Amino acid sequence: MASPAIATLDVLARDVTGQKKFRLKGIPTQASVGELVRSALARMGLASRDHAGQELEYRARLEREGRQLHGSERVGDALRRDDEIVLTPRIHAG
Amino acid sequence: MSDRHPSYRFALEHSTHEGRALGRAFVEPDFQPVREWAYFEAVRRGRLPLVTAQAGGAVEPIWSEEGPPLCKGIRILGSELSNGYFFELACERAAAYVATGELDPGESFHYRVLAHPAEPGDTLPPALLEFDAEPLAEAVELAARPLAELEAASTQVGEQDPLDAPVLVAESVLREARALAEQAGEVEAGGVLIGHLHRDAGGTEVIAEVVAQLPARHAEADGTSFAFTPETWAAADAALALRGADERILGWWHSHPNFCRTCPDGRRRACSFARPFFSREDGHLHRTCFPQAWQLALLVSDLPDDGWTPALFGWREGRIVERGYRTLPDAQKENR
């Protein structure tokens, strides 16, 4: 018996300066936004840790609504196909 | 930020200045800044268009006269770099030898760079979710501006290294950053630098022109730290959109208060905090948010002898260095 197809969607993601833009394809709609963000970082070549090796906090800003998504939101609830999100870190200068 | 599928694995072999072997260890250099630099070099020479995408390209060893696995440098996109690129990693490794007592503190050391073909298993572990990520390379429009005219209308500050692309900074940017830093006093201040990238009308050179600074909103600051928050980036994007001047984020700025206020005079003169300096946090922020070779960082430092002093930092051969720039009078900026 074939396994049921997993619902997915595609979104656009960019970094804070708009110099890295990616189409993220086939994101499981059941995943959380937090999982999406953490998975997107490595694929987009963005740092996931700070200079001391601690995990960096990132938020995904949904351009359509102009709001920061919460990490626990479900991809299928928060995002629509071809939405654009901006991955924004809380990052320190010294 | 390591390579997901490297062609080679690099190792460092250390010895004391007397030639006593200390050891050999694999390292994971961050090659992305050097990729970005090599790519931008090609753009500056008119060989590649400027696009919004992460620079790619395999890093290949340049074998030394002794042959593999010893390297005398690396090659990427036709650009070559010496083993100096591994210097910081070599220092970190040397510190580990000091910690184990194999090297005395302050003792000089030698290092050699080795490269070995990567094994199939030398890739990073898979990410949390499985999905495809397709980079979107959009062309960056470079308006033609005559470099010679811009140079004639501007003033050089610091030394212009031949490896650096020309950078023009509006005097108002320096003035405002200094005023905001002064206003913040013993707390750090910061913001975003915005402007344009041009192509020299008489050649292929790329010119960065910083026309304004946007003070960081919703930032968190204290005496030794300045945090850009997700809300800071959102506010900067909103301000850029409101200006409607087709500007882009060229970099960022922040201030360093006078860290030497309570130090005795003699100690200040030898102290690296008494000069403009980029901390590890600063370098990490620049690497994370501003990795393109044309992106800039302005630092305004309250120096013990000179007061509030601006210094511009940028990428050179994949490393962050203090660099020269030109200031553009406000009248010239308004006449654009």
pLDDT of B310: 97
Enumerate the residues of chain B whose CB falls inside 8 A of the CB of residue A40: 133
**Contact criterion met (CB < 8 Å) for B188 and A61:** no
Tell whether B226 is within 8 A of chain A (Cβ).
Answer: yes
**Contact criterion met (CB < 8 Å) for B287 and A47:** yes
pLDDT digits (tens, 9 = 90+) for B114-136: 999 987 665 555 667 889 999 99
pLDDT of B207: 98
The DSSP-derived string for B240-302 is HHHHTS--EEEEEEEEE--TTTTS-HHHHHH-GGGS----HHHHHHHHHH--STT-EEEEEEE
pLDDT of B49: 94
SS3 state at B184: helix
pLDDT digits (tens, 9 = 90+) for B74-89: 999 888 999 999 999 9
Enumerate the residues of chain A whose CB falls inside 8 A of the CB of residue B290: 17
The predicted model gives A28-50 an average pLDDT of: 93
**Contact criterion met (CB < 8 Å) for B254 and A89:** no
Tell whether B283 is within 8 A of chain A (Cβ).
Answer: yes
Closest CB to A25: pick one of B132, B236, B248.
B132
* Percentage of chain B lying above the pLDDT 70 cut: 94
Nearest Cα of chain A lies from the Cα of B216 at a distance, in angstroms, of 12
Enumerate the residues of chain A whose CB falls inside 8 A of the CB of residue B223: none
Taking chain B (336 residues) in runs of 10, the rounded mean pLDDT of each run is: 70 94 93 94 94 87 95 91 92 94 93 89 67 93 95 97 97 97 94 97 97 96 92 97 96 91 72 84 96 97 90 96 96 54
A61: Cβ–Cβ under 8 A, 6 or more apart, which residues? A67, A68, A69, A85, A86, A88, B230, B233, B234
pLDDT of B334: 47
Tell whether B133 is within 8 A of chain A (Cβ).
Answer: yes
pLDDT of A3 strictly over 90: no
Closest CB to A93: pick one of B32, B237, B281.
B281
Token pair, residue B218, equals: 């919703």
Distance from C-alpha of B79 to C-alpha of B36, rounded to nearest angstrom: 11
pLDDT of B122: 54
Beta bridge partners of B307: B303
pLDDT of B121: 60
Nearest Cα of chain A lies from the Cα of B256 at a distance, in angstroms, of 8
Distance from C-alpha of B162 to C-alpha of B184, rounded to nearest angstrom: 36
pLDDT of A2 strictly over 70: no
Q: What is the mean pLDDT of chain B?
A: 91
Distance from C-alpha of A68 to C-alpha of A90, rounded to nearest angstrom: 13
Tell whether A81 is within 8 A of chain B (Cβ).
Answer: no
pLDDT of B124: 56
Q: Assess: ipTM above 0.90.
A: yes
Closest CB to B138: pick one of A21, A36, A44.
A21
**Contact criterion met (CB < 8 Å) for A47 and B284:** yes
Tell whether A19 is within 8 A of chain B (Cβ).
Answer: yes
Side-chain half-sphere of B189: how many Cα atoms within 13 Å? 20
Please name the residue of chain A whose CA is at the shortest distance from the CA of residue B55: A20
pLDDT of A57 strictly over 90: yes
Closest CB to B226: pick one of A17, A36, A93.
A93
pLDDT of B279: 92
pLDDT digits (tens, 9 = 90+) for B267-296: 776 777 778 899 999 999 999 999 999 999
B100: Cβ–Cβ under 8 A, 6 or more apart, which residues? none
Contact map slice: B 57-76 vs A, CB within 8 A: none
- Integer CA distances (angstroms), B84 to B57, B60, B70, B91, B97, in order: 20, 15, 14, 11, 20
Tell whether B264 is within 8 A of chain A (Cβ).
Answer: no
Enumerate the residues of chain B whose CB falls inside 8 A of the CB of residue A31: 129
Token pair, residue A46, equals: 């963005």
CA B174 to mean position of chain CA atoms: 19
Enumerate the residues of chain B whose CB falls inside 8 A of the CB of residue A13: 133
pLDDT of B265: 74
Residues in chain B: 336
Residue B255's nearest CA partner among B179, B196, B322, B330 is B179
The DSSP-derived string for B79-123 is EEEEGGGGHHHHHHHHHHHHHTTSS-TT--EEEEEEEEEPPTT-S
